[in-house]
């Protein structure tokens, strides 16, 4: 049955038809406008349709023509009109961002290998990425003459590899694939073995919805100055649009140490510590660093991480020789953090690692064992290692932003720090009724991780939030209590506090380490969610 | 086709069916259009031909096909296309049901106009429609139909229906 399009209001059509009939009948009384007649069909049936359509367009415009109307009609507000309105406040509906990262291609030979621009690489889930330029892997250093020539290096298993950069084909956070994700190229070189993500892909942001824009626009309505918490947050969202959360510690706050350097130890103001979350969870970044052999007999090596290598990184996850195909890591003996406040431009006043850890001024000296590599070498010899760190990105961008002469409040001393991390792992058991299908544990783990990573600055993580995250995936199944939560709080001075809880993890205050609920965030990787499934026996039905 | 030339005091509609074939005048296909194919001129219609046109349009419109008036029309063409009309009795049955539906709709329209104070002449009120004959061809169906108005005026017309009969 033919029916009116949903957006055409039949009542409006009928009203318009009645008006048209009346007008035409008055003007031309000898015309027969009875229903079913030709004139009636032309004038009223078809004639009222454009009126009804214009009425529909007018309705859309009215529902999109002001911030008030948009807020009350978010599902139907026209994005184009919404963009026109919010442009008055210097904002626009975010189109999203494509994630970017590095792909390692593993080859069977070190022959010159070309990857053309826009070659598509796909994950097993169907997420597609394309090479950001045309790259050529070359076997000799002398053949590297442009930035897109990449030196092929030999791996420990006899294969070869080189890296290329790639960008996701679509916007969205789902394209922030983790390190080591397998990727399959659309066109395969003859010596191709495999390809994988060398580090986490990052920077992917979902297209903004109208409701998200309305929440964000309150920042645009503030004055863009470093003068209040909301204004600072607004400026930071402009500098790093993917900023997830922010906590601003200033004068009078218990966590502020930097303004208490006086005999009475009271806050004098002028200093601000800004704790940030720049992504849902930290990223894994692999960089190549030169290690120096410091103890040949014991096989102890040392790496110095400068402030620019991985600004504000949380932890070193692994250290492996370049080209190694082994998993895991060399044993890390020590990780001593320091500060480097050298350089030009404004530098905040930071006195010790408790005040400056997880900022872009952080440095580190890492020592680890590698007796195998040390064999036959002497103290002072160097070798290159792949160092994978866990970090929040963009700390350098934000610190440089607020240090700008025209942005920084002349009264202020601002320090950006990654939120003090509490890394979480979760164990839980699902009990399903006899014969029920297994729940989607992978999706459940991802949902639990997303919930934990979205907890925000509050210092508490409750098991009820984890159970709530599981509920959409439970059909004929329940979460068995207790839910085991393990939290490792990495304080700025390097101490690690372990929480084993079943009900709630609550961060204990440690003001000497600037550690409270207002400076700590919980982070959980889906790989650290362990879900077991048991089935009730039939007698329990 | 004969058309009245006296429209004084009458309400007219656009003539859209051209080349009506009356019984005994030979076969031709009526065609729809605002202008005559040969003369290129438009025309208006009233009286028994307007009644015939009103009936024909309503009778040959498949019920539900008009999106602004889903109750308008009959199910005759729907039945014809579905292939359920496979003999005289089925044809007669389908025709009668469709005529009854069309007549009810047209009388309701007359009632509405008279309630609004309009005078509807008897030669524009439908009394009956009779199926005189029909010829099934491989291309379609020719219906010979007699339309009788309340004024006692009869008009027999041939409606060639070009549908693929299954």
A46: nearest CA in chain B? B68
Mean pLDDT score, A454-480: 93
Optimal mutation site among B8, B10, B11, interface A, most CBs of chain A within 10 A: B11
pLDDT of res. A2: 57
Residues of B in contact with A38 (CB under 8 A): 13-14, 16, 53, 57
Higher pLDDT, B20 or A506: A506
Min CA distance, A41 vs chain B (Å)? 10
Give the distance between the most distant pair of CA atoms in chain A. 114
Burial code of A405-424, b = ≥16 C-beta within 10 A, e = fewer? eeebeeebbbbbbbbbbbbb
The answer to whether residues A205 and A242 touch, using CB atoms and an 8 Å cutoff, is: yes
Give CA–CA dist A469/A443, Å, rounded. 10
Q: How does residue A197 score in pLDDT terms, banded at 50, 70 and 90?
A: very high
Whether chain B has a CB inside 8 Å of the CB on A27: the answer is no
pLDDT tops 90 at residue A288: yes
With DSSP H G I counted as helix, E B as strand and the rest as coil, what are the percentages for chain A, rounded to 5?
25, 30, 40
State whether ipTM is beyond 0.90: no
What are the structure tokens assigned to A516, written together? 């409270």
Residues of A in contact with B12 (CB under 8 A): 30-32
Whether chain B has a CB inside 8 Å of the CB on A31: the answer is yes
pLDDT of res. B39: 73
A33: nearest CA in chain B? B13
The answer to whether residues A204 and A223 touch, using CB atoms and an 8 Å cutoff, is: no
Mean pLDDT score, A345-353: 92
Give CA–CA dist B159/B155, Å, rounded. 12
A45: nearest CA in chain B? B68
Give CA–CA dist A105/A119, Å, rounded. 13
Q: How does residue A353 score in pLDDT terms, banded at 50, 70 and 90?
A: very high
8 Å CB contact of A32 and B11: yes
Residues of A in contact with B47 (CB under 8 A): none
8 Å CB contact of A2 and B65: yes
Cite the DSSP H helix spans in chain B: 47-60, 76-82, 88-115
B119: nearest CA in chain A? A32
* Cα dihedral A260→A265→A269→A273 (10° resolution): 40
Phi-psi region of A212 (alpha: psi -120 to 50; beta: other; left: phi over 0): alpha
Mean pLDDT score, A57-78: 79
8 Å CB contact of A30 and B7: yes
A34: nearest CA in chain B? B109
**What is the pairing mode between strands A520-523 and A420-432?**
parallel
Higher pLDDT, B89 or A424: A424
What are the structure tokens assigned to A417, written together? 């720090």
Closest-CA residue to A449 (of A530, A523, A389): A523
pLDDT of res. A70: 79
pLDDT of res. A376: 93
Give CA–CA dist A310/A313, Å, rounded. 6
8 Å CB contact of A32 and B106: no
Min CA distance, A19 vs chain B (Å)? 15
What are the structure tokens assigned to B126, written together? 């439908």
Out of B54, B67, B109, name the one closest to residue A3 (CB): B67
Residues of B in contact with A3 (CB under 8 A): 67, 70
8 Å CB contact of B46 and A32: yes
pLDDT tops 70 at residue A4: no
8 Å CB contact of B105 and A36: yes
Note the residue count of chain A.
Answer: 541
Higher pLDDT, A64 or B4: A64
pLDDT digits (tens, 9 = 90+) for A434-451: 888 889 999 999 999 999
pLDDT digits (tens, 9 = 90+) for B13-32: 888 877 665 555 544 455 66
User: In the A/B pair of chains, how many CB contacts fall below 8 A?
Assistant: 59
pLDDT tops 90 at residue A183: yes
Count CB-CB contacts under 10 A for residue A2.
10
Mean pLDDT score, A205-230: 79
Out of A29, A34, A38, name the one closest to residue B109 (CB): A34
Phi, psi of B107 (to 5 degrees): -65, -35
Min CA distance, A23 vs chain B (Å)? 16
Q: How does residue B95 score in pLDDT terms, banded at 50, 70 and 90?
A: very high
Out of A34, A39, A48, name the one closest to residue B113 (CB): A34
Residues of B in contact with A2 (CB under 8 A): 64-67, 70
Mean pLDDT score, A204-228: 78
Give CA–CA dist A43/A339, Å, rounded. 81
Residues of A in contact with B66 (CB under 8 A): 2, 45
């Amino acid at each position: 049955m033919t029916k009116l399009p949903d957006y055409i209001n039949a009542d409006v059509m009928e009203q318009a038809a009645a008006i048209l009939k009346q007008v035409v009948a008055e003007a031309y009384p000898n015309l027969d406008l009875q229903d079913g007649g030709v004139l009636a069909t032309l004038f009223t049936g078809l004639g009222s349709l454009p009126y009804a359509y214009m009425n529909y367009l007018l309705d859309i415009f009215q529902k999109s023509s002001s911030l008030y109307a948009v807020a009350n009609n978010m599902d139907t507000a026209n994005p184009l009109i919404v963009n026109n309105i919010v442009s008055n406040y210097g904002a626009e509906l975010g189109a999203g961002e494509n994630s970017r990262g590095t792909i390692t291609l593993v080859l069977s030979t070190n022959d010159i290998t070309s990857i053309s621009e826009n070659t598509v690489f796909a994950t097993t889930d169907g997420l597609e990425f394309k090479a950001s330029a045309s790259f050529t892997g070359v076997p000799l250093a002398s053949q590297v003459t442009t930035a897109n020539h990449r030196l092929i290096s030999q791996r420990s298993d006899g294969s070869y590899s080189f890296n290329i950069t790639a960008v996701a084909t679509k916007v969205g956070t789902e394209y922030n694939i983790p390190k080591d994700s397998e990727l399959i190229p659309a066109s395969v070189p003859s010596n191709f073995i495999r390809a994988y993500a060398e580090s986490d892909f990052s920077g992917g942001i979902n297209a903004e919805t109208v409701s998200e824009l309305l929440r964000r626009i309150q920042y645009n309505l503030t004055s863009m100055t470093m003068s209040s918490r909301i204004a600072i947050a607004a400026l930071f969202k402009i500098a790093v649009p993917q900023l997830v959360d922010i906590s601003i510690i200033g004068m009078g706050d218990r966590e502020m140490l930097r303004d208490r350097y006086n005999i009475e130890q009271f806050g004098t103001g002028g200093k601000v510590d800004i704790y940030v979350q720049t992504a849902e969870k930290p990223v894994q970044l692999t960089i190549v660093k030169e290690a120096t052999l410091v103890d040949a007999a014991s096989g102890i090596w040392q790496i110095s991480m400068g402030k620019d290598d991985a600004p504000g990184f949380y932890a070193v996850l692994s250290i492996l020789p370049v080209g190694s195909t082994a998993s895991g890591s060399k044993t890390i003996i020590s990780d001593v953090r320091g500060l480097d406040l050298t350089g030009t431009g404004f530098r905040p006043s930071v006195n010790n690692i408790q005040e400056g850890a997880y900022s872009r001024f952080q440095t580190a000296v890492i020592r680890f064992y590698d007796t195998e590599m040390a064999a036959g070498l002497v103290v002072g010899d160097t070798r290159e290692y792949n160092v994978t760190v866990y970090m929040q990105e963009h700390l350098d961008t934000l610190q440089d932003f607020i240090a700008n002469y025209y942005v920084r409040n002349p009264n202020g001393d601002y320090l950006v720090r990654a939120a003090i991390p509490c890394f979480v792992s979760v164990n839980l058991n699902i009990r399903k009724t006899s014969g029920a299908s297994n729940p989607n544990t992978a999706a459940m783990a991802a949902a639990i991780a997303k919930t934990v990573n979205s907890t925000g600055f509050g210092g508490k993580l409750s098991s009820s939030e984890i159970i709530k995250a599981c509920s959409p995936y439970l059909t004929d199944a329940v979460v068995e209590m207790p839910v085991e939560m393990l939290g490792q709080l990495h304080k700025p001075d390097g101490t690690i506090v372990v929480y084993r809880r079943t009900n709630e993890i609550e961060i204990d205050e440690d003001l000497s380490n600037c550690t409270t609920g207002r400076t700590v965030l919980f982070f959980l990787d889906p790989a650290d969610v362990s879900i077991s499934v048991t089935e009730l026996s039939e007698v329990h039905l | 086709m004969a058309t009245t030339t006296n429209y004084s005091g009458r309400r007219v509609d656009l003539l859209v069916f051209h080349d009506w074939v009356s019984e005994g005048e030979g076969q031709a296909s009526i065609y729809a259009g605002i202008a005559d194919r040969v003369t290129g001129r438009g025309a208006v219609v009233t009286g028994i031909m307007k009644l015939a046109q009103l009936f024909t349009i309503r009778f040959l419109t498949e019920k539900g096909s008009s999106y602004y008036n889903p109750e308008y029309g009959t199910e005759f063409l729907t039945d014809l296309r579905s292939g359920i009309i496979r003999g005289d009795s089925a044809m007669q049955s389908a025709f009668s049901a469709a005529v009854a539906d069309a007549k009810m709709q047209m009388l309701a329209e007359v009632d509405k106009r008279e309630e609004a104070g309009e005078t509807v002449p008897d030669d524009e009120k439908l009394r009956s429609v009779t199926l005189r004959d029909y010829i099934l061809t491989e291309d379609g169906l020719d219906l010979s139909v007699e339309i009788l108005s309340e004024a006692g005026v009869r008009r027999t017309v041939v409606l060639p229906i070009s549908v693929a009969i299954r």
